[in-house]
């Protein structure tokens, strides 16, 4: 597939090796390289000292082994000619009467650079200093081999191709207090390779995995880890061939360890995502200032960056964890954040009452559940929660009954105020025909409801709690100074796709069966503001997603637009991958255009939203995450 959006496919490989059997080892290394090429990989990371094997011990002092290792490197260089892949391979190097454990970076018949292992382990089961010298502090050196002269040698080498920059470290370097990869990242490397030989003991694999995840997060980079396999010497240790590919704290791929054949794992790396994260992260930029080691940048060029089939998983619901256990933990945490935020507001104001409009829809239901939990924590009786249902022209029996029944089950003070007569009077006052079902018709109802709620809150010395969610704010799907306004908004940074799971979490974990049944029916009700009259069967006639598009698409667009600063073209590409079985390209593009138009045109509403807690990675608060002019042009973002 043509690479328009800066993805690059990488591989971590573990070839079969025999201890000190260089010819055998090279044969299997070549097989791994060829397999990686077949899978359109542009980088392959092989294990530490894989040309000789890691466990040669005192054989590393043998002239024959060292000489044959250099010949093997020449062999692999020749093999790599006209092969469009960067190869990171482990072998020995003799320099200034010292032996170094090194990563050789090979491309198209040439060694681009050699990186020595910075930290040499010499504790518990490791005795590497018996043979090798640490490479820490070696920078800007140049060495020559029999077949190639003036090869850059040092720990500060960066290998650059366009906006992809590769850096490498070796095994123990990752375990160091400040891994060399931290400096490499500050010097520009966004893809880090680790050539490793890490033996297995109980629980070490779990710790190793956490190191890869955390280092990729700290470095805002991809991290490709390849370790030696089961055919290393088992005299005292066992190796498993652990292969890992991480990206900015997330593990993309991991193999099943202890395989007995050549093995590679591959993954697409999203370089644009990494670069954008670095651009936004002030701490990363500030850290660059403390790095006083200048990188030596080595330039090369791939023939192309086509990656074949797009096989990277793109989650269609990026705000919602796909794992059920993780999702439950996330929902519980968000619910706690919401209640803690609201409790603080009550501590500050000294108030003991809340007012909330209840429609029988998802958002007002979640807001009510948050208020109820908050009052429980503050030992305030639920009778102090004033729930107001305000039937209008479009209110259906289903939503009305769910709202009333939920309030009764939660033992709140329930008030019913029908807004029809007030709205009819207002239509008359402003000379608006009642049969004209336009925005004015709808907004009159939303503002009437907000006026009632505000005035009750004043009368009762209560806080009016807002119900609007993040998706509605992104689209401006709220009435300015109507449901747009409150005294505190508990849902303001929760997207619609996540609201559903939060209500479902409460239904399953926090309430009795009767209350749960009500909540589950609310979940099954179409999303609607119910501002237009019911149909002839008394059902909801105005379905939000029929008008503005599916919320699952809009939440997807929002995530990539805000979190990654992605262009509409890139968002469309990713959405096609995520929703390939749900929507065709024309449909996705239609709603993406709608999202861009509404996001820009409705910023004035977000510039004036009430306080509310940030619960996830994205918030549109004008006081925090998102500060945008209300009159910015969207011309650049319109899909051509």
Known binding positions for ATP:
357-364, 467
- Report the alpha-carbon distance of residue 392 to residue 540 in Å, rounded: 12
Residue 287's CB: how many other CB atoms inside 10 A? Answer: 15
33 vs 22: CA distance, rounded Å = 16
- Do residues 355 and 457 make contact, with C-beta atoms less than 8 angstroms apart? yes
Distance of CA 173 to the CA centre of its chain: 26
Closest CA to 575 of 317, 319, 323, 327: 317
Catalytic residue among 42, 117, 316, 373: 117
Convert 264-274 to b/e letters by CB count within 10 Å (16 or more is b). bbbbbbbbbbb
Cα-based distances in Å from 236 to 52, 126, 129, 551: 18, 11, 18, 57
Per the annotation, the verdict on 492 as an active-site residue is no
Strand partners, 115: 103
Report the side by side order of strands in the sheet with 98-107: 141-143, 151-153, 110-116, 98-107, 86-95, 43-45, 7-14, 263-270
442 neighbors 531 (Cβ within 8 angstroms): yes
Q: Which residues are annotated as a binding site?
A: 123, 198, 204, 357-364, 443, 467, 472, 477-480, 605
Going by the DSSP 8-state scheme, the letter that residue 240 receives in this structure is -
Question: Which tokens hold the place of 240?
Answer: 């498993």
CA 330 to chain centre: 14
Residues 6+ apart with CB under 8 A from 617: 563
**203 CB-contact burial (10 Å; exposed 0-12 / middle 13-18 / buried 19+):** exposed
The answer to whether 61 and 17 are in contact (CB under 8 A) is no
**Residue bearing tokens 């099943």:** 256
What's the residue count for the chain?
640
DSSP state for residue 250 in the 8-state scheme = E
d(CA 54, CA 48): 7
Tell me how far apart the alpha carbons of residues 37 and 22 are, in angstroms, rounded to a whole number: 22
Annotated active-site residue in 48, 232, 247, 552: 48
> What DSSP assignment string belongs to 176-217?
SSS-HHHHHHHTT--EEEEEE--B--TTHHHHHHHHHHHHHH
CB environment 466-483: b (16+ within 10 A), e (fewer): bbbbbbbbbbbbbbeebb
Tell me the torsion sign for CA atoms 340, 344, 346, 347.
positive
> Which regions of 456-495 does DSSP assign to beta strands (E)?
463-466, 488-489
The DSSP output letter for 8 is E
Can you tell me whether residue 434 is helix, strand or coil?
A: coil
Task: Classify the C-alpha dihedral 627-631-632-634 as positive or negative.
Answer: positive
Cβ neighbour number for residue 532 with a 10 Å cutoff: 17
The answer to whether residue 117 is catalytic is yes
Binding site residue list for L-glutamine: 123, 198, 204
- Catalytic-labelled residue, pool 32, 41, 161, 171: 171
List, as residue ranges, the binding site for deamido-NAD(+). 443, 472, 477-480, 605
d(CA 433, CA 246): 61
Count other Cβ atoms within 10 Å, centred on residue 68.
Answer: 18
Return d(Cα 56, Cα 62) in angstroms, integer. 10
- Catalytic residue positions, numbered: 48, 117, 171
């Amino acid at each position: 597939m043509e690479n328009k959006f800066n993805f690059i496919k990488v591989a971590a490989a573990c070839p079969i090796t025999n201890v000190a059997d260089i010819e055998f080892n090279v044969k299997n290394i070549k097989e791994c390289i060829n397999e990686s090429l077949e899978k359109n990989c542009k980088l392959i990371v092989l294990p530490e000292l894989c040309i000789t094997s890691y466990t040669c011990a005192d054989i590393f002092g043998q002239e024959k082994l060292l000489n044959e290792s250099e010949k093997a490197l020449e062999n692999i260089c020749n093999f790599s000619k006209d092969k469009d892949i960067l190869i990171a391979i482990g072998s020995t190097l003799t320099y200034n009467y010292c032996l170094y454990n090194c990563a050789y970076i090979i491309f198209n018949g040439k060694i681009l650079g050699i990186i020595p292992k910075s930290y040499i382990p010499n504790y518990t089961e490791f005795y590497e200093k018996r043979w090798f010298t640490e490479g820490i502090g070696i920078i800007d050196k140049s060495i020559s081999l029999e077949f190639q002269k003036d090869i850059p040698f040092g720990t500060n080498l960066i290998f650059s191709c366009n906006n992809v920059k590769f850096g490498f470290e070796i095994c123990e370097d990752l375990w160091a207090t400040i891994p060399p990869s931290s400096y490499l990242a500050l010097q520009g490397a966004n893809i880090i390779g680790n050539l490793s030989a890490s033996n297995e003991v109980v629980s070490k694999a779990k710790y190793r995995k956490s190191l890869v995840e955390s280092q990729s997060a700290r470095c805002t980079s991809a991290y490709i880890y390849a370790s030696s396999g089961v055919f290393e010497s088992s005299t005292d240790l066992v190796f498993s061939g652990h292969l890992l590919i991480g990206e900015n704290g997330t593990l993309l791929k991991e193999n099943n360890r202890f395989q007995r054949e050549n093995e590679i794992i591959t993954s697409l790396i999203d370089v644009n995502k990494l670069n954008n994260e670095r651009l936004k992260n002030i701490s990363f930029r500030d850290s660059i200032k403390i790095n006083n080691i200048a990188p030596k940048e080595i330039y090369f060029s791939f023939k192309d960056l086509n990656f074949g089939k797009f096989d990277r998983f793109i989650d269609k619901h990026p705000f919602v964890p796909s794992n059920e256990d993780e999702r439950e933990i996330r929902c519980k945490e968000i619910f706690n954040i919401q209640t803690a935020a609201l409790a603080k507001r009550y501590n500050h104001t000294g108030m003991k009452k809340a007012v909330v409009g209840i429609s029988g829809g998802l958002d007002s239901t979640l807001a009510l559940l948050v208020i109820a939990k908050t009052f429980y924590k503050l030992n305030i009786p639920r009778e102090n929660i004033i729930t107001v249902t305000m039937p209008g022209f479009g209110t259906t029996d289903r939503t009305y009954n769910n709202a009333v029944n939920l309030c009764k089950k939660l033992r709140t003070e329930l008030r019913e105020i029908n807004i029809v007569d007030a709205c009819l009077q207002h239509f008359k006052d402003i000379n608006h025909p009642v049969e004209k079902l336009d925005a004015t018709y709808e907004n009159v109802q939303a503002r009437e409801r907000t006026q009632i709620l505000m005035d009750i809150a004043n009368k009762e010395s209560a806080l009016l709690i807002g119900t609007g969610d993040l998706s509605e704010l992104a689209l401006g799907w709220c009435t300015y100074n109507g449901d747009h306004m409150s005294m505190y908004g508990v849902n303001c940074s929760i997207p619609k796709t996540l609201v559903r799971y939060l209500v479902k979490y409460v239904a399953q974990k926090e309430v009795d069966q009767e209350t749960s049944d009500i909540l589950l029916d609310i979940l099954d009700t179409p999303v609607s503001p119910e501002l237009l009259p019911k149909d002839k069967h008394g059902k909801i006639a105005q379905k939000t997603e029929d008008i503005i598009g599916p919320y699952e698409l809009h939440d997807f667009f929002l995530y990539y637009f805000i979190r990654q600063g992605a262009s509409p073209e890139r968002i469309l590409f990713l959405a096609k991958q995520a929703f390939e079985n749900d929507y065709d390209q024309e449909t996705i593009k239609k709603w993406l255009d709608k999202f861009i138009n509404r996001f820009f045109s409705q910023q004035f509403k977000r510039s004036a939203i009430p306080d509310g807690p940030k619960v996830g990675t994205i918030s549109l608060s004008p006081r925090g995450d998102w500060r945008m002019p209300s009159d910015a042009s969207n011309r650049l973002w319109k899909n051509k």
